[in-house]
A = this chain, B = another copy of it.
Amino acid sequence: MKKYTNISDIKNFSQAIEEAIQLKKNPLKFSALGKHKTLGLLFFNSSLRTRLSTQKAALNLGMDPIVMNVSGDAWGIEFEDGRVMNGSTAEHIKEAAAVVSQYCDIIAVRAFPTLTDKSKDESEHVLKAFTKYATIPVVSMESATAHPLQGFTDAITITEHKKTAKPKVVLTWAPHVKALPHAVANSFINAMQNMDVDFVITHPEHYDLNPEIVGQTPVMYNQEDALKDADFVYAKNWSAYHDYGKILKTDLDWMVTKEKLGDAKFMHCLPVRRNVVVEDAVLDSDNSLVIEQANNRTYAAQWVLKSILEGLKS
C-alpha cells in the first residue's frame, strides 16, 4: 500500500479485517518490520485515541514514532500556491512536506475541516498537499472529509461482534452542541458499503450527507423506524452538509437511549458527550462497544502501517 487516506485504499477489505484481527491476537509478531523506521505524526488538531493508538501501533511494529503539534511546535503553514508570503504563515507546505519526508519513513497527518468553506474542505487541501509534496507515504489520521482509520476500526469491531451472517447496522445522527465534521460518518458509510451488512442511515431532515458518498444506501428520516431490529447502532453527530457547517437542530430528541437501543450493540468513535449524544445508561451497559472500538484503533493502524512498510521494501 502506498498511502492510506480513504477506505478505498484498502484493496481487499474483508481480508484486511481478518488480518487486523490476527494482528490483535499477536501484536508483536511483526515487531522487527519497522526497526529503524520513523513515523512522523503531525497534528493540526486535538487527539487522544488517534495520538495514542497510532503511536502504539508503530511501537508494536518496532517503529520510532515522532509526534509534533504543528501549530504549537513549528511554524504556520501556507497551503496556497503562488502566494506572496508576507502574512502570518512562515513556511509553505511544499517545503514542510518535503522536509518531513527527509526524516521520516511514513507521515501521518490530522487536519480537520473549516466547516465554513465547503469547496476548500472538499478539496482536502491540507491532506492533498501532503500527499502531493511528501515523498513518503501519507496516512490520514482524520482529514476534512474522511476518517479512514476509524471506518476500518468500526468494520473490524462489527466483524468481531456480529452474531448473524448479515447484521443490520444503523448509522444514526445524534445531537451535539458544536458544529462537527462529516468525516467519521463518511468513512463509516464507506466501510459499511464494503461489508455484507444490511445498512441504513437515519437523520433529521436537512441533515443529508454528501449524496456522492451516501449513494444507494437507504436513508430514513424516522429514527424509530430505522432502529427497528438493529444489531448495531452507530451514533454520530454531524453539522448540516447542504447548509454547510450549520447546526439546524438543538433539542435532544435524537439522543440515543437505552429504550431506543433495545438489544442492539452501541457504537461511537469517541469522544462522546454523555447525555447529549447518548445517555449514560447506554454507555454504562454491556451493549456499548465504544471501548472495544478504541482498542481496535491500534490494530487498524497497525495493519495500515504494516501494509505500507511492506510496500516500502518492494
Seen from chain A, the residues whose Cβ lies within 8 Å of a Cβ on chain B are 28, 31, 36, 38, 40, 43, 46-49, 51-53, 55-56, 59-60, 64, 66, 68-69, 72-75, 78, 81-87, 90-92, 94-96, 98-100, 102-104, 177, 270-276, 280, 283-284, 290-291, 294-295, 297-298
**Could you tell me the distance between the alpha carbons of A60 and B95 in the complex, rounded to whole angstroms?**
23
**Could you tell me the distance between the alpha carbons of A54 and B91 in the complex, rounded to whole angstroms?**
19
Considering only CB atoms, which chain B residue lies closest to A250 in the complex? B86
A31-B36, A38-B56 as given contacts; A275 in contact with B48, CB under 8 Å: no
A59-B38, A100-B52 as given contacts; A92 in contact with B291, CB under 8 Å: no
Do B52 and A103 touch across chains, with their CB atoms under 8 A apart?
A: yes
Do B38 and A51 touch across chains, with their CB atoms under 8 A apart?
A: no
Do B68 and A102 touch across chains, with their CB atoms under 8 A apart?
A: no
- Tell me, rounded to whole Å, the shortest Cβ–Cβ distance linking A65 to chain B: 8
Q: Which listed residue, B94, B99, B295, touches A49 by the CB 8 Å rule?
A: B99
- Tell me, rounded to whole Å, the shortest Cβ–Cβ distance linking A103 to chain B: 4
Do A276 and B40 touch across chains, with their CB atoms under 8 A apart?
A: no
Considering only CB atoms, which chain B residue lies closest to A268 in the complex? B95
Do A291 and B74 touch across chains, with their CB atoms under 8 A apart?
A: no
Do A98 and B36 touch across chains, with their CB atoms under 8 A apart?
A: no
A90-B273, A291-B102 as given contacts; A72 in contact with B72, CB under 8 Å: yes
Q: Which listed residue, B52, B94, B274, touches A104 by the CB 8 Å rule?
A: B52
A86-B273, A177-B86, A275-B85 as given contacts; A74 in contact with B95, CB under 8 Å: no
- Tell me, rounded to whole Å, the shortest Cβ–Cβ distance linking A298 to chain B: 6
A75-B271, A83-B274, A102-B291 as given contacts; A36 in contact with B28, CB under 8 Å: yes
Which residues of chain B have C-beta atoms less than 8 A from A295's C-beta?
A: 102
Which residues of chain B have C-beta atoms less than 8 A from A273's C-beta?
A: 85-86, 90
Which residues of chain B have C-beta atoms less than 8 A from A78's C-beta?
A: 274
Q: Which listed residue, B49, B90, B102, touches A294 by the CB 8 Å rule?
A: B102
**Could you tell me the distance between the alpha carbons of A91 and B103 in the complex, rounded to whole angstroms?**
34
